[in-house]
Structure 1
Amino acid sequence: MTAMRLLLLGKSGRLGRSLLASRSQQRSLDPRSVCLYAPDRQACDLAQTPTAPTADSPLQQTLATFKPTHIINAAAYTAVDRAETEPALAHTLNCAVPNCLAHYAAASGAYLIHYSTDYVFDGSGTDAWPETAHCAVDQALSVYGRTKAAGDQTLLNSPAVVLILRSGWLFGHTGPDFVKTVLRLAHQAPPLKIVNDQWGTPTPTQWLAHLTWEALSAHWQGRPWPARLYHCSARGETTWYDYACWILDCAHQGGWPLQHRAGDIIGIGSDAAGRLAQRPRNARLDCRRLDALNLVTPNLQRPDWRQAVAACVQDLNGDLID
C-alpha cells in the first residue's frame, strides 16, 4: 500500500492545533504510512481562492504540487461578528475553499473531511437538529452561518467522496474560546453578563480531533463511515449562562484566584447582548447517527460536556493561555 498523502488546512486554528497534537495518539493509523503537509498562510493563502477554481490560485497550486490522497479542511472564517462586515472574505474561506477542494477530490479520488457548524440552522424550536433537517442557505441567521451552509451544500452536492463533521461550541487547551474568555473576565472587577436563552453543547476539540483521525483511518483501511454527514457534539445541553457558571465553579474548586464566583454572573437575553451577528437560540445537535457507529474506544465516545470542561479547566492549572 502506498503512503497516504494528507493535506491539513487550518493548522493554526483551534481545531487544527488539536488535530496536530492528537495525531501521535492515533493508534489505528501508523504515522509512518502518512506523508503530512500542513501549510501555513504564507505557503498557501486561502484568502486568495476564487469562487471558480483557477490553476494559479495558491490553493490550486498546493493541490497540484502535493497531490494529496486525503484532505482535512480545518480552515474556516469563524469570527462570527466580524463576518458581518467582511462577507466576501467569509464566503471565500467558507464556500470557495470547499468548492475548490470538492473539484480536486472529485477529479483525483481524494478523500475530503470538512467541518460544519450548528450556526447553519435558524435556531427555532427546542428539539435537537438531526442531519436530515432542512438546511437552506437563507435559513441561517448570520453571514457566518450562511457561508458555512453554502459550503456544506457545495460538498454534499459534489460527486467527491466527502465526510462532513458538524459540531459547535468548541473549546480546547489551545487558542481562544469561551472557557478562557470567561476565566479572563472573572479576573476583572465588572460583573459578567452572559446570554441565558441560547442552548447548545460545549464540545472539546480534542475529542473531535480523535474522531477525525478515526474516520480517516477507517477510510484508509477500506471501512468508510456509511454517511456523508455526522453531527458531533458532547453529551448533554446547557445555556451560555450555565456554561459560564460551571466554568467558574470548576475554577474555584481548582483554587483559581478569581474576582468573581458563579453567583456573580448576570443572565441576559440575546437581544440585550448587543452582538453584531444573530446567534441560533437552539443549537442542539442530534448525534444518534454518530452513536450508531458504536465507537467503543474511550477517547472516541461522546464525552459529558461538564466533565470535559472540568478537565480543561484543571489542565489549564490557573494559566490563561492564548
Structure 2
Amino acid sequence: MRLALLVPGGSGQLGRDLVESVPSGTEVVAPSSAELDLTVTGDVVSAVGSLAARAARSGAVPLVINAAAYTAVDAAESDEARAFAVNVDGPRVLAAACSSHRVPLIHVSTDYVFPGDAKRPYEVDDALGPRSAYGRTKAAGEDAVLGSGASSWVVRTSWVYGRTGNNFVKTIVRLEGERDRLSVVDDQVGSPTWSADLAAGLLELAGAIVEGRGPAAKVLHCTGAGEITWCGFARAIFEEIGADPERVQPCTTAEFPRPAPRPAYSVLSNASWREAGLAPLRGWREALHGYFAC
C-alpha cells in the first residue's frame, strides 16, 4: 500500500534521513521548521489537510512523522516558553489536525523524559521524572499527542547523531583537529543512535501502521543497542577517524557544569520495539562504524 508522508522538521538530521530512506513510490513532503512552524496553528492545520487531500486523490495512505522539536537543551532552561510552544503546543495542534482528518501520527520523543537515576534500562511504562526544561516540555508533548484522540504513537530515542546539523559526533571530530587532548564526561551513560538507523525504524513502524498492523502499545523505545558513556563514545569516534583514543580523558559531570541537568543513566530498553514485531536497531558501535564508512 502506497504511503503519503508529511515530515515536519524535514531539514533536520532525522528529517533528512527519513526523506532519503522512504520506500519507492512514497509521496513525501518534508518542510523545514521555517517552512512549517508548529507554533503557527493555521499552517499546521493546512499542512495536514493538504496531506489528507493529496492522499485521497492518489489512493495513498497518509501519515505524519513529527521530527520537529526544540532540542537546544541548555537554551531551554532560560527560554522554556519557546520550548513549550514547539514541544507541547505544536504537537497538540498537529495531533488534533491528524485526529480531524484521520491521519496516523508518529511523534518522536526523548530519553530526557526520565529522571536518569535508574540502574537498568528504562521501560516504556516506567515513571517519568524529567529534570530539565527540555525534558519537561517533551514529556508534556507526549501527553498532548496521546490525549488528542489521534491514532498516534510516541517513539522515544536517545543520543541521536547524523550527517547534518550539530551533534556530538561532529563536535568530537572537529575538536580532534583543534586540541591535543579532550576532557569528556564519563559518568553519564546512554545509547548512541544514528539518525539513519532511527529513520529506517520509524519507516518500518509507519509501514506497519498503514497496513493495519500498528502496535497496540502507543509508546515505544527505539535506540541503538548497547550502552556507553560520553567519554567512551568520544574514544570510539577517535578510533574511527584514526586518532589515538587515549587523547580523550574522562572527567565528571561536576567538572563540566551545564545550565541544564543531564541524566546520569538514560538507557532505554528496546523490549517494546521487539514486542511490536519491529526489527531492533543494530549495536551503537556497529552503527558508528557504518556512519564513518559511508
> TM > 0.5 between the two?
yes
8 Å CA contact 1:251–1:314 kept in 2: the answer is no
Structure 1 distance, partners of 2:179, 2:272, is 45
Q: Deviations over 1:208-265 (max 9, x none)?
A: 111111111111112212211111111111100111111111211xxxxx5xx21122
Equivalences, count: 286
Residue 293 (structure 2) aligns with: 314
8 A Cα contact 1:47 1:89, kept in partner: no
Contact 1:19 1:210 (C-alpha < 8 Å) held by counterparts: yes
Give 2:82's match in structure 1, choosing from 78, 89, 104: 89
Q: Does the 8 Å CA contact 1:247/1:313 hold for their aligned counterparts?
A: no
Question: What CA distance in whole angstroms lies between the structure 2 residues aligned with 1:4 and 1:266?
Answer: 47
1:159 corresponds to: 149
Q: TM-score, normalised by structure 2?
A: 0.91
Counterpart of 1:40 (choices 14, 32, 35) is: 32
**Structure 1 position 60 matched with structure 2 position 45:** yes
Distance 2:175 2:34 in 1: 33
User: Which ranges of structure 1 fall in alignment gaps of 5 or more residues?
Assistant: 50-56, 253-257, 316-322
The 3 A distance-change label for structure 1 pair 43 and 172 is: closer
Looking at structure 2, the residues matched to 240 and 42 of structure 1 have their Cα atoms a distance apart, in angstroms, of 31
* 1:213 matched residue in structure 2: 203
Letter matched to residue 44 of structure 2: L
Spell out the pairing of 1:267-306 with structure 2 (5 A cutoff).
Answer: 267-295=250-278, 300-306=279-285
Equivalent residue of 2:7, what SS?
strand
Q: Distance in 2 between matches of 1:61 and 1:229?
A: 27
Distance 1:42 1:277, change over 3 A: closer
> Given the alignment of the two structures, is residue 186 of structure 1 paired with residue 179 of structure 2, yes or no?
no
Structure 2 counterpart of 1:200, from 178, 183, 190: 190
- 246, 263, 270: which one pairs with 2:246? 263
User: Alignment identity in percent?
Assistant: 34
SS in 2 for 1:67: helix
In the alignment, the residues of structure 2 paired with residue 189 and residue 227 of structure 1 have an alpha-carbon distance, to the nearest angstrom, of 46
Q: Does 1:174 align with 2:159?
A: no
> 2 CA distance for matches of 1:292 and 1:59?
33
User: In 1, distance between residues paired with 2:87 and 2:47?
Assistant: 18
Aligned 8 A contact 2:12 2:165 in 1:
yes
Q: Distance in 1 between matches of 2:33 and 2:9?
A: 9
- Counterparts in 2 of 1:22 and 1:35: CA distance versus 1, 3 Å: closer
Q: CA shift at 1:107, angstroms?
A: 2.1
CA distance in 1, matches of 2:198, 2:121: 19
Q: Which residue of 1 aligns with 2:108?
A: 115
What is the CA–CA distance in structure 2 between the aligned matches of 1:157 and 1:250, rounded to whole Å? 44
Amino acid at match of 2:223: S
| TM-score computed with the length of structure 1 as normaliser | 0.83
Q: 1:128 to 1:73 in 2, by over 3 A?
A: same
Correspondence 1:222 to 2:212: yes
What is the CA RMSD across the aligned residues, in angstroms? 1.8
**Which whole-Å CA distance do the structure 1 matches of 2:239 and 2:230 have between them?**
14
Asked if 1 retains the 8 angstrom alpha-carbon contact of 2:48 and 2:101, the reply is: no
- Per the alignment, residue 56 of structure 2 pairs with none
| Gapped regions of structure 2 (runs ≥ 5) | 54-61
Pairwise CA distance, 1:70: 1.5
